[in-house]
Amino acid sequence: MSLANSDRRRYGRRPKLMRFVLLWRRSEGKVFTTDVSQGGMFLRSTIAPPLGSEITLMLPEARPAGECITLKARVVRVVRRGDPYNPLGGVGIELIHVVSPRGVGAVNALFSGLLGEAAPRIPEFVRGPVTVSVPDFAIVAEPADVEAEEQGFEDARVEYTRSVPVHLAVFC
C-alpha cells in the first residue's frame, strides 16, 4: 500500500512558515506553521496538548494583548518528537473561530497570509471587534461602542453568514 493511497487529507498542502504564540492551560510557547491547506495546518511545537484539547493561538505583534488577533482551535493530531516521518514533532489543529478586535480587515489579512490566492474574502461591512466562525465564516460583530447598548439597544450584535467554497478547518 503506497503512502499516497493512505493519505486522508481532503485538500492539497501549501508550505507556509508563520509564527504564532500557543496558549494552553498554563503553558505558553512559540510555534511555527509548516504547512497549511484549505482544510488544515500543522504547527511545530514543544507544547503537545492531548487530542481534543482546545488551544488559543495569538499573532505575536507589538500590540497590547487586548488588540491581538486570536484563533481558537482544537487539536486533532499530535506528533511526538522523534517520529520517523516528522522528527521535530508538533500538533495538527482544526480552527473553531478567529477573534479580531480590529475588525474584518485584519481577519482577511490573516487568511490571505496563510492561504494566498485561495483565501476566502469576507465582506468588510463591519467595523470594530468581530468573531469569525470557521469553517462557515459566519461573522458575529460586537458593537463599535458601548453607548449603543446603553441607549437601549438590547441586541447590538450583527450576524452575517456567507457560504464560502474554501474551508479553513485546520488539521494535518
Chain center to CA of 52: 15
Report DSSP letters for 98-165, one per residue.
EEETT-HHHHHHHHHHHHGGG---------S-EEEETTT--EEE--SSTHHHHTT-S---EEE----S
Residue 64 domain flag: yes
Residue 120 domain flag: yes
Residue 168 domain flag: no
Residue 170 domain flag: no
Residue 1 domain flag: no
The candidate with the shortest Cα–Cα distance to 42, out of 15, 71, 69, 5, is 15
Residue 153 domain flag: yes
Residue 7 domain flag: no
User: Which domain does 150 fall in, by range?
Assistant: 13-160
pLDDT of 42 higher than 90:
yes
Angle at alpha carbon of residue 34, lines to 28 and 36, rounded to 5°: 105
Residue 68 domain flag: yes
CATH number of the CATH domain containing 149: 2.40.10
Specify the pLDDT at position 137: 73
Q: What is the pTM of this model?
A: 0.74
Q: How many domains, in total, are found in the chain?
A: 1
Binned at pLDDT 50, 70 and 90, residue 13 comes out as confident
pLDDT digits (tens, 9 = 90+) for 70-119: 999 999 999 988 888 777 889 999 888 889 988 888 888 988 888 888 88
Binned at pLDDT 50, 70 and 90, residue 139 comes out as confident
